Amino acid sequence: MIESVIVQLIPLYILIALGYVAGRWLQVRVESIAKILIYIIAPAVFLGAMIRVDFNPAYLALPLILMMLSYMLTGIVYKLTSLMSSDGMEYLISGATVNGNAIYFGLPVMLTFFEPEIVALFLLMNLGPAINNFSLGYYLVARGRYTVRESLLKLAKMPVIYAAFLGLSLNVLGFELPAIAEKYWQNASGAMVILGMMMIGLGLSKLEALELKLSHMAAFLLMRFALWPLSVFALVMIDKNITHLFSSDIYQIAMIFSVMPIYGNLVAYAAEHNLYPERAAAAVLASTVFTLVSIPLMFWLIAFLGI
């Protein structure tokens, strides 16, 4: 089981390496690729995925539940790290707690292992933590320089949100994708896998330096690969045994969601506000590499527990 998952992950990491080469030696601009992904390809993938999903009203609770969990974990981590640090690292570590790299990394991974209809639920689930990413997450890293309202305005400019809700609305109205649109939606999904993974490499190629401090790295990785998975697993067990709102597909994608690496925007936020960008870059890189272990182990755990 673990071997087969690793085999499927290896091509994705090769794409990351190719993105690094393109950025370092071919002078490919990360900003241009990012705009194509954010404003053209990702909205198309979101729109088509939401139209295709077998909609259940209970699914609307997914982003709300994950958003509440994200805010709660961010607050817990901030309180704990404030006890151990007062040099600004408490802001950076708690800011990294809000969300994983669910778009550039998570979406290509999910498209590799799951049907597009299931991936649509993964995207819907991510909306909640994404709100925290652009609100409390950005606010923490900025250390209060920007209001929550100003940060939320950045979120309001993201077209994927409107594409997702438009897709859900069309789904409820019974709209189906025409054959020609279905073909191009599948092409867009493939492009998202390739460009999304290469974007990670492109971002890494632009980093000037890395700074590794073991205590800080341990805090980043424990937050990302222990606190989040344990919290999501607890929610899955509550629903599986008590509330019975969701299916096993939701449990599986939620558990995979919980072991995504730290989101790449953290480096941009840290650089913008001069908050240890080298340490942020090292944390993002280490968490991305660590997913070679965390994702196969999570698939094994899902199979072992029969979730």
The pLDDT value given to residue 145? 55
The pLDDT value given to residue 94? 83
For domain 2-305, the CATH architecture is Up-down Bundle (1.20)
Both tokens assigned to 184: 């191009």
The pLDDT value given to residue 281? 76
pLDDT tens profile 224-264: 999 999 999 999 999 999 999 898 999 999 999 999 998 87
Distance CA 30, CA 1 (A): 35
pLDDT tens profile 154-168: 667 778 778 878 988
- Measuring CA to CA, which residue among 187, 121, 125, 128 is closest to residue 155? 128
Mean pLDDT of the chain, nearest integer: 82
CA angle 41, 52, 57 (to 5 degrees): 115
Side-chain-facing half-sphere of 203: CA atoms under 13 Å: 25
The pLDDT value given to residue 256? 93
Where is pLDDT greater, at 150 or 190?
190
Q: Is the pLDDT of residue 144 over 60?
A: no
Contact 8, 112 (CB under 8 A): yes
Q: Is the pLDDT of residue 10 over 70?
A: yes
pLDDT tens profile 184-220: 988 988 888 888 788 778 877 876 666 667 777 888 8
Q: Is the pLDDT of residue 151 over 70?
A: no
Q: What are phi and psi of 262, to 5 degrees?
A: -60, 140
Rg (C-alpha) for the chain, rounded Å, is 19
Distances 172 to 29, 62, 110, 160, 231 between C-alpha atoms, Å: 39, 17, 24, 18, 31
The pLDDT value given to residue 53? 78
Q: Is the pLDDT of residue 141 over 70?
A: no
Where is pLDDT greater, at 66 or 50?
66
User: Which residue ranges make up each domain of the chain?
Assistant: 2-305
Both tokens assigned to 264: 């790449």
pLDDT classification of 5: cutoffs 50, 70, 90: confident
| Residue count (the chain) | 307
Distance CA 177, CA 88 (A): 49
Q: Is the pLDDT of residue 298 over 90?
A: yes
Distance CA 32, CA 216 (A): 32
